[in-house]
Every structure is written in structure tokens, then in C-alpha cells.
């Protein structure tokens, strides 16, 4: 595709966005939050750009445009309570979680599709798994997720709830023909959707159903084309589309997206994003083998610093510098959640609040973080870190930086000021070291 055709496609998409925004405003949705929730998945920045264009050509008044833009800058005092039981989502997981209401609705729909003795498989939907623990579906329910801290937390909560769920990781792929209803929520990119839908189709019993959330038409210029690509791909898997519910799935806005938007001066509400629900039925056997996806995060190692999830890319194991965290962008927060942003490739340290850093010694940053994580800490690890005075000074400096980041992101997540005890804990650990 040429640069000119791409520009033409984007201009056409902007024209569509303008039509959606103008229709919503004429319908009376003139508050910023209501405007977002009445658009087909249009990103907040794009919606505001449309408001400016509409005012410029006198389609709406300048005063209305200014009022909407002013509302978009107002702080949102909303706590992310739906996530309180789970580790916070991380941008490298491309994870947006369903709200409790949407999770419960999906479970209710799954129970109506099949008989009492049916099995429900939850694939990559931790929020639905949490809902299934508190609102029993009356069906055998299996959760399959990545081998990470989120799945481990669900496993622990499941054990504390008398194990109503069967839990497995997708390291070796999904089992075949085990479920009558499969609920999945892949990241909204074709190279994620195809293998996950393929695995879901293989796991689904004949005449069973697959429920999937897909990006609405306003998500990006290629959304409509990608939708038809997915439907055709599903048909080759033996899945026929039997129902489509536009904008039926509500998502919580993760902290990393809230921060990315805040950098641009936008305070998005906690539940602005929605997905289209598609229901497929498995009417025949697949004409192609189940796809598998590579380990996209094999270079990244995760460790928790309090509630903050920290990912460190250890692909430069020979690096031996002592600078620690090296700023990449002003303010440290990446002002984007798109994987197409080229700045993502420069990051070697990444927080769950979408802060990115370079480093001249990934292993030192990782070891420092692990020394604070009580489940990872050991005498052997501390002895290895006590290598030299210079290394010790770097270690203390990195500790202070990581704990301050954890404190900042805890405040951002909760949406209110919290009592911060990291300094005392850091001082204590300095004395121990």
C-alpha cells in the first residue's frame, strides 16, 4: 500500500468518525463521557479531533467544542475496583478486562446456549473467571490462561473458593473437544485473533458455540476489513456466525491506558471502551489444523514490586553498566497503547502504568526488583548483589526508583492519595543490605 493510499484511507476514516460524532451530538450526547460511550469504539483522542474538525467547518458550535474539550481534561475520580482481586493488567499483555456486568452477562449467555450438563471454557478471560468464582454458572467451568501472575492469582482464589473452576495454562495449547461453549477475548490484532480462535474452535464440541469480543468499526480504519477476514477464517475452522451484537461488551480502562491518555491531557472514564460480541456455532470440522502462537514475550521477565508489575527485557545479558533506569521519553509514560508505536522497541524496562525506560544493565534492574519481591528474595540473591561498592550504590538507587514508581502507580490506580510507606521499607532494606 502506498503512502498516498494510506493517507486517503485515513481521511476516509476520519470522515466516518465525523459522521458518528455528529450523529451522537445531535442525539443529545454532548457530555464527553456520554459521547465516547455512544461511538463505535472511537479512541478518545480521535473523538476530540473530530469535535475540533466539526467546529472548524461550523457543523457544531465553537462553544460546544470548547466545552467538550474542557470536560475531557477534568480529572476522573474513579477507583478501579473491578481489578482489586487480580494483578493489574500490563501493556505487554495487551489486556483489557471485561467489566463485572459484561463478565456476568457472558456467563449467563453461555448457560442459555447449552444444557445443564454442558462445559464452559474460559480462554484468556481472567475477569470472567473471577466472576465465575462468585456467581456459579451451574456448569463445569474451565479457565485457561497464560502461565503468569494473573493465572496464579486465579488459581489461589479458586482454591480458597473450594475450587469451582478447573484451571490450566495454555503453554501446550488447548485440549480438543472439551467444551460446549468457549468464551475468549483475544488482543485485537489478527495475529492474536487467528491462533486463539483456531484453538477455541478445536476445543469446542460439535454444535457448540464460541463467543468472542472483536473491535468495533470505529476502532481503526481497517476494522471492517479485518472483521470480514475473521469471519471467513472462522468458516474454515467450521464456525458459522449465528449472531452479532454491536458494542455489547464493556471494558474497564486499564491504568496503562489511563496514563497514556492523561499524557495527552485526556481523562478518560473507567468504562469507555466497548467490543462487539460475535457468536459462532461449530457446524463442521475444521479444514485446517489448530494454529499455535510463538512466545511473544520470551525476552521479557516479569517481577512484581508491590502491586506494580515490572517487565524487564534481558536480551543484552552482557551489559554491565550501573546507570539503572534511563529515561526514554519526557515524563516516562508512553502516550500510546498501540503496538505500532515505534518507541515500544526502545523499551527494556516497562511498568504496568505504561512507563518505559532503557537500561545499561537489564540484569541489575531485574535482580534489584527481585530482591524486593518477598517470594523471590533469598540470601543467595542478596549475596550475589553485594559485589562492589559501586554496584551497591547502583542497587540502592534502582531500589529507590522502583519503589517510588510503585508508590506513584498505586496512587494512580486507586484514583486517590494513599499512605506511602515505601521510603521506610527502602531504608530498612538498605540497612539489611
pLDDT in tens, 132-146: 998 776 789 999 999
The 8-class DSSP code of residue 139 comes to S
**Every domain of the chain and the residues it spans:** 3-73, 81-282, 300-432
User: Angle at Cα 321 formed by Cα 305 and Cα 426, nearest 5°?
Assistant: 30
Whether the CB-CB separation of 149 and 304 falls below 8 Å is answered with yes
The β-bridge relationship of strands 204-214 and 179-184 is: parallel
Distance CA 94, CA 293 (A): 15
pLDDT in the model for residue 74: 87
Whether the CB-CB separation of 280 and 307 falls below 8 Å is answered with no
pTM for this prediction: 0.85
pLDDT in the model for residue 46: 95
- Give the three-class secondary structure for 279: strand
Distances (CA, A) of 381 to 343, 387, 429: 32, 11, 14
**Please, which residues have CB within 8 angstroms of residue 28's CB and are 6 or more apart in sequence?**
none
pLDDT in the model for residue 317: 58
Rg of the chain in Å (alpha carbons): 23
Topology at the third CATH level for domain 81-282: Rossmann fold (3.40.50)
Starting at the edge strand found earlier in the chain, the sheet holding 165-169 runs 165-169, 140-145, 119-123, 179-184, 204-214, 274-282, 239-250
pLDDT in the model for residue 298: 67
pLDDT in the model for residue 376: 43
pLDDT in the model for residue 3: 38
**Which residue ranges of the chain lie beneath pLDDT 70?**
1-10, 76-84, 137, 172, 289-298, 316-318, 373-388, 416-433
Amino acid at each position: 500500500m502506498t503512502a498516498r493510499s494510506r493517507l486517503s484511507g485515513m481521511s476516509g476514516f476520519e470522515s466516518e468518525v465525523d459522521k458518528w460524532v455528529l450523529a451522537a451530538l445531535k442525539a443529545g450526547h454532548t457530555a464527553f463521557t456520554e459521547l465516547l460511550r455512544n461511538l463505535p469504539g472511537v479512541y478518545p483522542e480521535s473523538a476530540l479531533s473530530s469535535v475540533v474538525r466539526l467546529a472548524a467547518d461550523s457543523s457544531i458550535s465553537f462553544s460546544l467544542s470548547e466545552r467538550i474539550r474542557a470536560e475531557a481534561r477534568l480529572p476522573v475520580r474513579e477507583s478501579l475496583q473491578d481489578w482489586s482481586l487480580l494483578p493489574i493488567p500490563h501493556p505487554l499483555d495487551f489486556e483489557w478486562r471485561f467489566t463485572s456486568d459484561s463478565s456476568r452477562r457472558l456467563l449467563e449467555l453461555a448457560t442459555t446456549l447449552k444444557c445443564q450438563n454442558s462445559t464452559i471454557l474460559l480462554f484468556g478471560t481472567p475477569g470472567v473467571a473471577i466472576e465465575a468464582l462468585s456467581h456459579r454458572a451451574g456448569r463445569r467451568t474451565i479457565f485457561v490462561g497464560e502461565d503468569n501472575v494473573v493465572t496464579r492469582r486465579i488459581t489461589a482464589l479458586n482454591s480458597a473458593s473450594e475450587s469451582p473452576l478447573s484451571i490450566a495454562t495454555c503453554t501446550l495449547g488447548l485440549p480438543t473437544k472439551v467444551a460446549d461453549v468457549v468464551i475468549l477475548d483475544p488482543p485485537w490484532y489478527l495475529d492474536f485473533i487467528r491462533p486463539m480462535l483456531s484453538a477455541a474452535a478445536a476445543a469446542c464440541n460439535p454444535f457448540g458455540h464460541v463467543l468472542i469480543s472483536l473491535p468495533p468499526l470505529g476502532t481503526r480504519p481497517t476494522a471492517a476489513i479485518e472483521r470480514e477476514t475473521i469471519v471467513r477464517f472462522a468458516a474454515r475452522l467450521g464456525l458459522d456466525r449465528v449472531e452479532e451484537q454491536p458494542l455489547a461488551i464493556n471494558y474497564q480502562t486499564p491504568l496503562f491506558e489511563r496514563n497514556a491518555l492523561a499524557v495527552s491531557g485526556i481523562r478518560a472514564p473507567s468504562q469507555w471502551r466497548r467490543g462487539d460480541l460475535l457468536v459462532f456455532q461449530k457446524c463442521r470440522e475444521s479444514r485446517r489444523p489448530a494454529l499455535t502462537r510463538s512466545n511473544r514475550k520470551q525476552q521479557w521477565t516479569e517481577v512484581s514490586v508491590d502491586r506494580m508489575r515490572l517487565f524487564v527485557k534481558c536480551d543484552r545479558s552482557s551489559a554491565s553498566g550501573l546507570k539503572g533506569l534511563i529515561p526514554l521519553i519526557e515524563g516516562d509514560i508512553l502516550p500510546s497503547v498501540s503496538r505500532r508505536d515505534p518507541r515500544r522497541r526502545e523499551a527494556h524496562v516497562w511498568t504496568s502504568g505504561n512507563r518505559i525506560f532503557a537500561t545499561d544493565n537489564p540484569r541489575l534492574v531485574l535482580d534489584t526488583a527481585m530482591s524486593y519481591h518477598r517470594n523471590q528474595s533469598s540470601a543467595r540473591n542478596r549475596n550475589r548483589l553485594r559485589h562492589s561498592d559501586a554496584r551497591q550504590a547502583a542497587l540502592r538507587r534502582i531500589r529507590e526508583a522502583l519503589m517510588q514508581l510503585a508508590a506513584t502507580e498505586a496512587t494512580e490506580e486507586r484514583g486517590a492519595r494513599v499512605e506511602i510507606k515505601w521510603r521506610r521499607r527502602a531504608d530498612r532494606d538498605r540497612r539489611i543490605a
